[in-house]
Chain A
């Protein structure tokens, strides 16, 4: 088990070391987002904007306008909701090199409850022209995705989680931006998952295999641009699709996949996610149960879908 936030911190240190253009901004959450580590190593390239997320984003835009690669971090709810207009109008409309790396995405924020649980952030960010959206699944994928984001020209949103998650990859993992990654091949159903839900989907596939249902599990780490070719290739083989995300079923990864399938390959699909409601306080385990995001819930949906 390892923190995805630590993967972000590791990438920032590596990037900061080799590229003077890297600057990092936070909004009084450096200890939580883990930008604190960059701050300790490169204090002259770190700016704490205080509790002012809108200012964080517009200031990051200005830094990028002077040639910097600006990483702006806070909780996902504030980065995408509170500062939406700054992200849309000042960062994306200006096509500036700002990487919004937001931690505490999704329901797994836990005890802090609904006000701090971003369940619409993927929907908000992917609706913005020029914005790319990445939701990495573990420590290594986060580290490599952040490095990939630094190399992309223009705005990128990277959604990082709060809880520790199982390590799925290793130190040699090569992240391919924009590529749907098949983690487990299967002929019966395509299960697309992102972020925290990837390991849940893998556990579900294990459970289903025992019953003779072979699920193809895909780590859909890049939600925009969507790997249409990869998704359609898998879907055409299996004929059924299930999406899994700790995000609202409205407008998120499941929504993006539904849009693609609706236009290109209409076939039966199901979405596992938060069913158009706000979050609530609880432990991660309790919330996963409460919102039916566990591996057995995924297995149940797949079973019914294949039946």
Chain B
């Protein structure tokens, strides 16, 4: 079984100002990134389906964000994962590991075949990211609320060295109930970490129900602003909107937060906005149905 591959166009990875406008002009960027995102979703569903374990909802909601980071915004070199000037990405919501694994494989950090061994004993792809096992993973995450703080530490370290690279972090909305997120938010704001860009995958659902019902985040943009961050709100499943926001965030003189409004389970109709698919794998039949739906999209 093979995923339908988008045509690999010759658009270079870049993070420079104005790039999105140039590329939008020739109309290829959306097609390029959406094609990759479709493949990534196919891989996410298949790897979780084969593993019969994992978190499809939050992996699918953030797929477009990760595609924009790895195939548009970030300077990185899969051939040389330890390159000192690389931009770094931290998946603070570590349970979306399948999305990260899919973009890392697609980038060339490891063979795509590894995806089909997700969560198996001896696999390089653990249930949650492990930097010692998976090439391209910068720091191990999974226990929520800690990745953003680690990203702050990385941003501080690079700034001390005069390294121009950026740190990107993806956090969840359920994860934002962790106090650790706000400790990190306060430190980053105080330190004016302008090399730190965080994206909130605001899909509105967590294990026990909707975030609003469990412990609502309130005016989340206002909260981040009050912690000294520049905040943008975008449609987190629109690749061009995400790219524009990432470009804009790169020019901020303080840490930048992109509140990305997303749909949990995006791209598979029966998973969309369905809380049951937070941490439940599709059955083999559901997997086939989902893969066909993605192929036809």
Residues B139 and A90 in contact, CB atoms below 8 Å apart: yes
Q: Does A170 lie at the interface of the complex (its beta carbon under 8 Å from any beta carbon of B)?
A: no
Shortest Cβ distance from B130 into A: residue: A93
Partner of B157, one of A44, A52, A55, A62: A62
Residues B151 and A55 in contact, CB atoms below 8 Å apart: no
Residues B139 and A62 in contact, CB atoms below 8 Å apart: yes
In this complex, which of B139, B142, B186 has the most chain A Cβ atoms within 10 angstroms of its Cβ? B139
Residues A47 and B156 in contact, CB atoms below 8 Å apart: yes
Q: Does A65 lie at the interface of the complex (its beta carbon under 8 Å from any beta carbon of B)?
A: yes
Residues B132 and A58 in contact, CB atoms below 8 Å apart: no
Chain A contact residues: over half helix, strand or loop, or mixed?
helix
Task: Say whether, besides A90-B143, A93-B140, A58 and B153 are in contact (CB < 8 Å).
Answer: yes
Partner of B146, one of A50, A52, A58, A96: A58
A to B contact number (C-beta, < 8 Å)? 106
Q: Does A32 lie at the interface of the complex (its beta carbon under 8 Å from any beta carbon of B)?
A: no
Q: Does A60 lie at the interface of the complex (its beta carbon under 8 Å from any beta carbon of B)?
A: yes
Q: Does A89 lie at the interface of the complex (its beta carbon under 8 Å from any beta carbon of B)?
A: yes
Chain B residues with CB below 8 A from A23, complex form: 157, 160
Give the residues from 258 to 279 in chain B that come closer than 8 angstroms, CB to CB, to chain A.
Answer: none
Partner of B151, one of A54, A60, A62: A62
Residues B131 and A63 in contact, CB atoms below 8 Å apart: no
Interface residues on A, range: 20 to 34
Task: Say whether, besides A23-B160, A44-B160, A90 and B150 are in contact (CB < 8 Å).
Answer: yes
Partner of A61, one of B130, B139, B160, B183: B139
Residues B149 and A54 in contact, CB atoms below 8 Å apart: yes
Counting from the closest, the 5 A-B pairs by CB-CB distance are: A62-B153, A66-B157, A58-B149, A55-B183, A62-B150
Q: 29 A-B contacts, Cβ less than 8 Å apart?
A: A23-B160, A44-B160, A47-B191, A49-B183, A52-B186, A54-B179, A54-B180, A58-B146, A58-B147, A58-B150, A58-B152, A59-B156, A59-B187, A61-B139, A61-B153, A62-B157, A65-B138, A65-B150, A65-B153, A65-B154, A68-B157, A89-B140, A89-B143, A90-B143, A90-B147, A93-B130, A94-B139, A94-B140, A96-B139
Given A54-B183, A62-B90, A62-B153, 9 more pairs with CB closer than 8 A: A52-B186, A60-B153, A61-B139, A65-B88, A66-B157, A66-B163, A67-B157, A90-B147, A94-B139
